[in-house]
Amino acid sequence: MNDEVVGRLHPSLRAILQLELARGNKVVEVTQSDWPRPDSLFVCLNFSFGRRYEEFGEAQFFALQDPRYWGDQYSVEEGLQILACLCGERA
């Protein structure tokens, strides 16, 4: 895992990530890129989210469910930062 990139995650996304890692989920991709905007951050987990994290209101939930890309995601700052999970199993 790229700790520098993860350290730059919005506090809501970082909190969700920590909860997911504590329940056994694993990070499979960490990317900093210019998509969808310059300095975008993307973190992807191996398993579906264990639950909905409604207590982190700044993080918007979206169910993409497209196996070509990923399953569910939380994003902030109009998609500048995304925490996603692959389609499929739960940890």
Q: pTM (2 decimals)?
A: 0.90
pLDDT tens digits, one per residue of 22-58 = 999 999 999 998 987 888 999 999 999 999 999 998 9
Could you tell me the residue ranges of all domains in the chain?
Answer: 3-85
CA distances from 25 to 28, 33, 36, 37, 79 (A): 10, 23, 25, 27, 22
Of the listed ranges 40-44, 66-70, 72-76, 79-83, the least confidently predicted one is 66-70
pLDDT tens digits, one per residue of 56-71 = 989 999 998 888 888 9
For the cut 60, the answer to whether the pLDDT of residue 91 exceeds it is no
